[in-house]
Chain A
Amino acid sequence: MLLDPDGRPTAAGKAALPAGEELLRGLAGMVTARRFNEQASALVRQGRLAVYPSSYGQEACQVAAAQVLADGDWLFPTYRDTAAAVARGVDPVEVLGLLKGDWHSGYDPYERRVAPLTTPLATQLPHAVGVAHAARLRGESTVVLAICGDGGTSEGDFHEALNFAAVFRAPVVFFVQNNQYAISVPLARQSAAPSLAHKGVGYGIPGEQVDGNDLAALLDVLSRAVERARAGAGPQLVEGRTYRMQAHTNADDATRYRTDDEVAGWAAKDPLVRLETYLRAEGVLDDAHAAAFAEAAEQVARRTRDGINQDVEPNPDDLFGYVFAQPTPQLVEQRALVRDELSREEARS
């Protein structure tokens, strides 16, 4: 921890706090991330998104994960990391593609080097190792930051990915956002390890735990891990301890498995309040900054709202167009059948 929950630098913080400019950038990102979370949740209530797994309360992790990467690096998010993808510069409407329901993934992964969001847990981690290894074979200095959750660390793919990365010394930073719950199941049911960061020991890689609501500490720890990987020292595991302030999704009822007191305790550790308090006390942040950040966040929210509210008629032909580079004769037949059905339907209406 570099900043305590009240926004005061800790002893460690006095030595290692990132530059004010980095922190301002991070705060701006978190203001946008929070506004994006609120906007996406509102769009679910309005029936415009099928579902939204919010990262409300985890904005420091979301923003730090994007901020420590260079343009040529890769980010491998989970489905809850939409705000991280937005922070990396992916269009917020395209980020919500999976949840909007007209296709499974909305953005070009190569454009901002952000892998597609999918719902299986931890399966993206071995992909991240492969991308990193391919880059290394070509002599590129790419680093891959792969996110998973506390629940994801129980999956076999988590183990296999960390082991592969360690054996091949792949430049990957595994960032576990420990938000304490996998839907309803608490951390104690996922792992008996002293911490999730301890799991690095079994693979022979460093594991570091960091306060996941302290953006300054996250930037410090993650950027050191990224640069270490870039320098060829291999992968690292970072556990950010944070909290999922809202239910798993709108379809979940968190009151069935956790108490209001517990939630209130974490609300007092809000990552935005903490950083803003510090930056104001230091005189780095003033009202003009804050207004500009709020306005930038509002623009992202507006863009999100407008884009999601725009109805794009999905094209049924697309169902057959991307299964293979060239559709098989069977897919051509099936596409023709659907076209015929639709044209008859149209003729009737």
Chain B
Amino acid sequence: MTSVTSMTSAAVEHETLSTAQAINRALRDAMAEDPTVLVLGEDVGALGGVFRVTDGLTAQFGEDRCFDTPLAEAGIAGFAVGLAMNGMRPVIEMQFDAFAYPAFEQVVSHIAKMRNRTRGRVGLPLVIRVPYAGGIGGVEHHCDSSESYYAHTPGLHVVAPSNPSDAYSLLREAIASPDPVVFLEPKKLYWAKGDVALGNAREPGIGTAVVRRRGSDATLIAYGPSVPVALEAAEVAARDGRSLQVVDLRSIVPFDDATVCAAVESTGRAVVIAEAAGFASIASEIAARVSERCFHSLSAPVRRVTGFDIPYPPPKLEHIQLPSVDRILDAVDDLQWEDA
């Protein structure tokens, strides 16, 4: 167990880890700290998960703490409800985004509603880990951006890290949360490495967006797998003399209106970027919120760069679906600069 418990940066241990390793470390540290934390799902035991995210947990903590379940997602989610009702902090894995759909009723009708139903008497401290989104050449049912389904359901927190350090800290906080958290893991970032601040100092917390890059001309708003793309677009734009700011939401629910609005107001222009199909999506919600709240600071309508309203494409066509640097920069070019 790590001895780092203080919030002072001097005491925080750092390590270079991939996102998958950072998530593994967060699970390991949480399990070491709290014996009620359980990890369960399909293939999370001996195999260590199809992405090796749970690698070594059964060996270290035993089969009572990290274990395989029957192949039944509704069962996994419903079983976790009972575990959480009775003193445990289950972290369940839905093997792939689209494999989580059988659990939908348990998630929407029970996990999200139990606290409200019982006037706060039964809280469900559980985490639903979902390897999600595309960009890995996956076959059908392995690449869905399913965040809107969860975010549209009152009672769920929904977070999506964009880097290994956030993956670690957001997951530690999700496990410690008294409420259910849907933890969306961008699959294409599993192998991306970065510096990770370890320990249970969780700043900034769930519900806080951060400005990843300062800029003065326009603000790009992204989360999860779209953040690195937005940062790359900002880098390219800088070479062309345009200063783009990048906001990383980190948390979809709760949504950080304050940081997003301050960022948009400081530039007067905004582009929202997300992989998910754009219609009735998180990107649309953000565009609406920004338009409602920042209308008088806007020099142009808010643009969205999202996936098309099509089922996720096969591997050889997925590059067309994913928001690209060029598509983002085209949207930025459309922000009525002639009026400036």
What residues make up the interface of A, taking CB atoms closer than 8 Å to B? 103-105, 108-110, 115-116, 118, 120, 123, 125-135, 137-138, 156-157, 160-161, 163-164, 167, 318, 321-325, 328-330
Q: How far is the CA of A144 from the CA of B207 in the complex (A)?
A: 37
Which of A109, A160, A330 sits near B72, CB closer than 8 Å?
A160
Q: How far is the CB of A326 from chain B (nearest CB, A)?
A: 8
Which of B82, B123, B258 sits near A325, CB closer than 8 Å?
B123
Which of B106, B120, B253 sits near A123, CB closer than 8 Å?
B106
Known contacts A160-B78, A163-B75; A131 and B85 CB within 8 A of each other: yes
Q: How far is the CB of B80 from chain A (nearest CB, A)?
A: 6
B110 touching A123, Cβ below 8 Å: yes
B82 touching A126, Cβ below 8 Å: yes
B121 within 8 A of A: yes
Interface size class, chain B: 35 or more
Of all chain B residues, the one with the shortest Cβ separation from A125 is B78
Known contacts A131-B85, A137-B64, A330-B257; A126 and B116 CB within 8 A of each other: no
B179 touching A110, Cβ below 8 Å: no
Residues of B near A138 (CB, < 8 A) are: 87
B122 touching A109, Cβ below 8 Å: yes
B61 within 8 A of A: no
Which of B70, B115, B258 sits near A160, CB closer than 8 Å?
B70
Q: How far is the CB of A293 from chain B (nearest CB, A)?
A: 32
For residues 105 through 146 of chain B, which have their beta carbon under 8 Å from a beta carbon of chain A?
105-106, 109-110, 113-123
The 6 A-B residue pairs with the shortest CB-CB distance in the complex, in nearest-first order? A130-B82, A126-B78, A160-B75, A134-B86, A328-B254, A131-B82
B119 touching A134, Cβ below 8 Å: no
B190 within 8 A of A: no
B315 within 8 A of A: no
By secondary structure, the A interface counts as helix
Which of B120, B155, B254 sits near A329, CB closer than 8 Å?
B254
B287 within 8 A of A: no
Q: How far is the CA of A132 from the CA of B81 in the complex (A)?
A: 11
Which of A109, A115, A164, A328 sits near B207, CB closer than 8 Å?
A328
B250 within 8 A of A: no
A167 touching B70, Cβ below 8 Å: yes
**B64-76 vs A, Cβ < 8 Å mask (1 yes, 0 no):** 1000011010110
Residues of B near A109 (CB, < 8 A) are: 85, 118, 121-122
B311 within 8 A of A: no
Known contacts A123-B105, A325-B178; A134 and B121 CB within 8 A of each other: no
B99 within 8 A of A: no
B25 within 8 A of A: no
Q: How far is the CA of A78 from the CA of B52 in the complex (A)?
A: 39
Q: List 10 A-B contacts (CB under 8 A).
A: A126-B79, A130-B82, A130-B83, A130-B86, A131-B83, A160-B70, A164-B72, A167-B70, A325-B179, A329-B207
Residues of A near B88 (CB, < 8 A) are: 134, 137
Q: How far is the CB of A331 from chain B (nearest CB, A)?
A: 9
Residues of A near B154 (CB, < 8 A) are: 323
B314 within 8 A of A: no
